[in-house]
Amino acid sequence: MRLTDITVRALKAPATGVALYSDDVLTGFGVRVSQGGTKSFVLTYGPRRTRETIGRVGVVSLADAREEAKKRLAELTLGRDKPRAITWSAAKEEYFQEQSDKIRATTAADYRYILDRHFKYGEVKLLALGQSDIEKSLSRLKGLPATQQRAFVVLRAFIGWAHRKYYVERNPMERMKAPHPYVPRERVLSDKELVRVWRVAEDDTFGRIVKLLILTGQRRGEITRLTGSMVSKDAITIPAWLAKNDREHKIPLCAMAKALLTPIPGKEAHFFPALGRTTPFNGFSKCKMRLERRAGITGWTLHDLRRTFASGLPALGVSIPVVEKLLNHVSGSFNGIVGVYQRYDYLPEMRDALEKWEGHIQALTRK
């Protein structure tokens, strides 16, 4: 079709995936429309059908986008198949714009957090980054093996994308070995340690998050992103887009946990916002260090509270299938054919288990 301002505005979003509308005027130029309705001008060229995003519709005009596409095609036609100078920050923004239709929002947020936190190259040109720069950044995470391994994987995906886009002449990570495989943690807090953590957790945002992690056994990223629409009078419902396994997860809300979730106005408002902002709380490192000092306990992570929860319930007589339901695990008891046909929600059993666990925590903290 001939793309005009009117036809671009009228383009419909597909039911699933993305739709590409090609321009009859300029070969390779077109508009990509995501399932969510996001429209971007794109250019597809070369035998490998390389696709570049030129800009968002509404941010870039059709005329400017078509002109930019012509310039890029002219450069390719004249043999300028050389890496294009682009800064780390600009490439990163383009990367996430392109990936918005391909990866989950929570995955994109995780990738962005890792790239922003551990690879602060800012306005440095991608062409100027070498293997030694990357190794230096990764070496700073030597004491955090799980973080280091995750950072390596995320950076490798980003640099690989940049190489395919001709933003780097050679992939600086192609000869780099991945960090040693991460050995899963086995740390479980003892009852005494759990009591000390509970008692020093203050009545602030971080303190309430810690106590909810102890009481519910849920993942940190799920609890911190809770909004009004996910919490009802007697249950927490974690939507599929937020749950790690892409399955909606509902757990009963018992008395102690309910007391930590103060009603908030607005369905989309966060229960645990960052200070003075509407985004979820994210100041874990400093708050965790202060809590450790008060508790006098080191060598544990917030995720260890989930393992402690999972290990403590069977000691109270809770069956493994119920523990797995509370953790939203789809392996183990609910693997294979059982997971396909078993649709009982276990809500009464989960409520009984959580009441036992709250009773256990209450008894410990009263001693």
Asked if the model's pLDDT at residue 337 lies above 70, the reply is no
Predicted confidence (pLDDT) per residue in 5-45, tens digit: 999 999 999 988 889 999 999 999 999 999 888 999 999 88
pLDDT, position 52: 84
- Both tokens assigned to 322: 């119920």
User: In this structure, what token pair is assigned to residue 65?
Assistant: 């986008």
Residue 187's CB is within 10 A of a number of other CB atoms, namely 13
pLDDT at 82: 61
* pLDDT tens digit sequence for 350-364: 999 999 999 999 999
Share of the chain above pLDDT 90, in %: 54
Residue 15, SS3?
coil
> Given pLDDT bands bounded at 50, 70 and 90, which one contains residue 334?
low
Q: Which CATH architecture group holds 191-366?
A: Orthogonal Bundle (1.10)
The whole-angstrom separation of Cα 367 and Cα 349 is 28
Mean per-residue pLDDT, 200-229: 94
Alpha carbons 136 and 124: distance in angstroms, whole number = 15
Task: Name the one residue in this structure whose structure tokens are 């700073």.
Answer: 140
Contact between 55 and 63 under an 8 Å Cβ cutoff? The reply is no
Sort 160 into a burial class: Cβ within 10 Å, 0-12 / 13-18 / 19+.
Answer: middle
**pLDDT (0 to 100) of residue 336:** 47
The more confident residue out of 112 and 335 is 112
CATH top-level class for 5-77? alpha beta
Q: What is the mean pLDDT of residues 272-291?
A: 85
Residue (of 200, 164, 141) closest to 50 by Cα position: 164
Q: In the chain, what is the straight-line distance between the N-terminal and C-terminal CA atoms, in Å?
A: 75
Does the pLDDT of residue 343 top 60, yes or no? no
Beta-bridged to residue 227, according to DSSP, are 270
What is the rounded distance in angstroms from the CA atom of residue 286 to the CA atom of residue 303? 16
- Over residues 218-270, the pLDDT tens digits come to 999 999 999 999 999 899 999 988 888 778 999 999 999 999 998 777 788 88
Instruction: Give strand pairing partners of 18.
Output: 34
For the chain, domain boundaries: 5-77, 88-164, 191-366
Whether residue 81 is predicted with pLDDT greater than 60 in this model: the reply is: no
What DSSP character marks residue 79? T
In this prediction, residue 264 carries a pLDDT of: 79
Question: Residue 196's pLDDT is what?
Answer: 96
Query: Which of helix, strand or coil describes residue 37?
Result: coil
**Mean pLDDT value across residues 147-155:** 91
SS3 content of the chain, % helix, strand, coil (to 5): 50, 10, 40
Q: Which residues touch 60 (CB under 8 Å, ≥6 apart)?
A: 41, 54, 68
Q: What is the pLDDT of residues 158-186, one digit of tens each?
A: 999 998 888 887 888 988 888 876 666 78
- On the 0-12 / 13-18 / 19+ scale of CB atoms within 10 A, 217 is buried
Closest CA to 282 of 294, 293, 270, 267: 270
Asked if the domains 5-77 and 191-366 are classified in one and the same CATH topology, the answer is no
